[in-house]
A and B are shown apart, each in its own frame.
Chain A
Amino acid sequence: MSLNDLDGLRSGDRFITGKIYAEHYSLIERMIVAQKGDSDDAKDIYQEAFIIFLDNIQNPSFELTVKISTYLYAIAKNLWYKRLKVIGQQGFVIDDRFADELPDVTENVDRFLEEEQKYDDLYSGLDQLGEPCKSVLTDFFFQKLSMEAIANKHGYTNADNAKTQKYKCLMRLKKLVAVGQKRRNG
Chain B
Amino acid sequence: MNPFSEEMNELFEKMASGEGSRAERTLFFQELESNPTLKNLYESHLSFRKGIEVVTRRTALRSEISGYHQQVKTTKRKSSNPISISRWAIAASVSALIAVGAWFGYDWEQRQKANGEQLLARSTPKSRHSNHPIRTIESGEEVVSGTAFAVNAEGYFLTSSHVIGNKSEVELENPEDGSIYAARVVARDTKYDLVLVKIDDESFIGLSRIPYPIKSSKVNLAQDVFTLGFPKEDIVFGEGSVSSLNGYNGDTLKYQVSVPVNPGQSGSPLFDEQGNVIGVISAKNGSADGVSYAVKSSHMIHFFENALEDPIQLPKSNSVSGLSKTKKIQKIKSFIFIVRA
B89 at the interface (CB under 8 A from A): no
Residues on A with C-beta less than 8 A from B208 are 40-41, 43-44
Cα distance A47–B305 when bound, in Å?
31
Which of B52, B66, B301 has most chain A Cβ within 10 Å?
B52
**B52→A83 contact, CB < 8 A:** no
B127 at the interface (CB under 8 A from A): no
Contacting residues of chain A (20-62) with chain B, CB-CB under 8 angstroms: 21-22, 25-26, 29-30, 33-34, 36, 38-44, 47-48, 50-51, 54-55, 58
A155 at the interface (CB under 8 A from B): no
Interface size on B, residues (CB 8 A): 55
**A26→B75 contact, CB < 8 A:** yes
Q: Which candidate, B26-34, B111-119, B184-192, B316-324, is the interface stretch facing chain A?
A: B316-324
Known: A36-B205, A86-B153, A179-B217. A127 touches B274 (CB 8 A): yes
Classify the interface of chain A: helix, strand, loop or mixed. Answer: helix
**B62→A170 contact, CB < 8 A:** no
**A141→B84 contact, CB < 8 A:** no
Residues on B with C-beta less than 8 A from A41 are 208
A119 at the interface (CB under 8 A from B): yes
Known: A36-B81, A36-B83, A86-B153. A51 touches B62 (CB 8 A): yes
B206 at the interface (CB under 8 A from A): yes
Q: Which candidate, B4-12, B131-139, B238-246, is the interface stretch facing chain A?
A: B4-12
Known: A22-B72, A41-B208, A123-B59. A171 touches B4 (CB 8 A): yes
Which residue of chain A has the shortest Cβ distance to B2 in the bound complex? A171
**B317→A18 contact, CB < 8 A:** no
Which residue of chain A has the shortest Cβ distance to B213 in the bound complex? A124
Binding site for A on B (CB under 8 A): 4, 6, 9-10, 48-49, 51-62, 64-69, 71-78, 81, 83-84, 153-155, 205-206, 208-209, 213, 215-217, 274, 276, 301, 305, 316-318, 321, 334
A25-B69, A26-B73, A40-B334 known, 4 other contacts, Cβ within 8 Å: A34-B81, A39-B77, A86-B206, A120-B316
Sample of 24 A–B contacts (CB below 8 Å):
A22-B72, A38-B77, A40-B208, A41-B208, A43-B208, A44-B209, A47-B69, A51-B58, A51-B65, A55-B58, A89-B205, A115-B54, A116-B317, A119-B51, A124-B217, A127-B276, A127-B318, A128-B217, A137-B52, A167-B6, A171-B4, A174-B48, A176-B217, A177-B48
